[in-house]
Amino acid sequence: MSDLFRSAIHARVSKLPPLPAHHDDEEMEDGDEEAEAADSIGDLHPTMPAPTRYPRKRMPNPDYAPISASNYFEQASQIIVEPSDLDFRAYYTPPKFEDGTVFICHHGAGYSGLSFALFAKEVARLSKGECGVLSLDCRGHGKTVRIKDAVTAEQEDLSIDTLTNDLVNLVSTVFPDPSKAPSLLLIGHSLGGSVCVRACPGLQEKKYRITGVAVLDVVEEFTLEALPMMHNLLDARPDGFASPEDAVEWHYITHAIRNVESARISIPSIIKPNPTGQSPAYVWRTPLRATAPYWSSWFTGLSSKFLSARTARLLVLAGTERLDKELMIGQMQGKFQLVVLAGVGHMVHEDDPAKLAEVLVEFWRRNERVVVGVKKVGEV
């Protein structure tokens, strides 16, 4: 599963329509690149150094300077989704062909859609443009904001039902006609995996064609076991950082993210300037401690819902982790494909985006470009 769990246990469409946008529907321009370079319950390493509550002042290290996402996604747009009262931030690279597939990517708690940046570029390369990637900032994260009913970050509703409805509403807004929409492959990391699994039947009821659902590094039983330790793990994080470079460096040297290029793209999107104007200069954008009332509901029932999804199913885990009983039985019955990636932590899509893209494109080919006589994953 994840280093998060280990820590806790040790402690105890070429012609597809462009993204509809109320405003800011553009390719990523220079001004936006700078902004992108500046937005989890993450992978907190058990041997990380003690947190620095007020980071020391020093010159930012250029080796950890933010990188623009413009070379990884073709578009960055704000999308008005009125049923959710949200102005969604979404990053999109469309498929190059009318019969292409779009990978819908949902990040984990505390992260943002930019965590799939390197993965998106690899998918486009490996699929030769047949697959596109749409990666979103979910409610209370990144650059997604309320339209009318402004609330504080601590008051934001991050219940699993709300997040699931948000994803269904976003897809319905981006692709309003299911009969003309591309096929969709739902990919979710940690919390995002739970959202994608639950959104799958809702999208199918609306007649969207779902090629498959892929869950990245989360197993219900062991995640629920780890939750009591989450406050201790959050205590191990700094309150903030002196600069975006310091935030990137902290994530890299603690192995929260093991790919420095990906960290330089994604980490600046999960911090923001301190609104008080005091030290530390940058603080976390999403207050994870305030989400504690939702933690259990995020993952309860995940295994059964994953196994009952009426589409191909893929579970990708980091390291040689165990399955819970329900998943173990499902695997023996051939109900889903299991892939274990070596040399990665909880952020599998950031740590080794090329390998994960290879796995997902192969999964897509097997289940979307079906050869007569070859069963789809999950077919008995």
Q: Is 39 designated active site?
A: no
Residue tagged active-site, from 68, 77, 190, 266: 190
The neighbour count for residue 253, using CB atoms within 10 Å, is 13
Identify the DSSP state of 70: T
Task: Report the C-alpha dihedral over residues 251, 255, 260, 261, rounded to 10 degrees.
Answer: -90
Residue tagged active-site, from 251, 255, 346, 349: 346
Residue whose tokens read 């936006």? 32
Q: Is 190 designated active site?
A: yes
Residues 6+ apart with CB under 8 A from 345: 2, 3, 43, 45, 255, 256, 257, 258, 318, 351
Q: Is 149 designated active site?
A: no
Residue whose tokens read 């897809």? 171
The neighbour count for residue 161, using CB atoms within 10 Å, is 11
Residues 6+ apart with CB under 8 A from 132: 13, 16, 92, 93, 94, 95, 96, 100, 101, 102, 103, 123, 124, 182
CA–CA distance, 122 with 125 (Å, rounded to integer): 5
Residue tagged active-site, from 43, 166, 217, 351: 217
Task: Report the C-alpha dihedral over residues 297, 302, 305, 307, rounded to 10 degrees.
Answer: -170
CA–CA distance, 328 with 267 (Å, rounded to integer): 34
Active site residues: 190, 217, 346
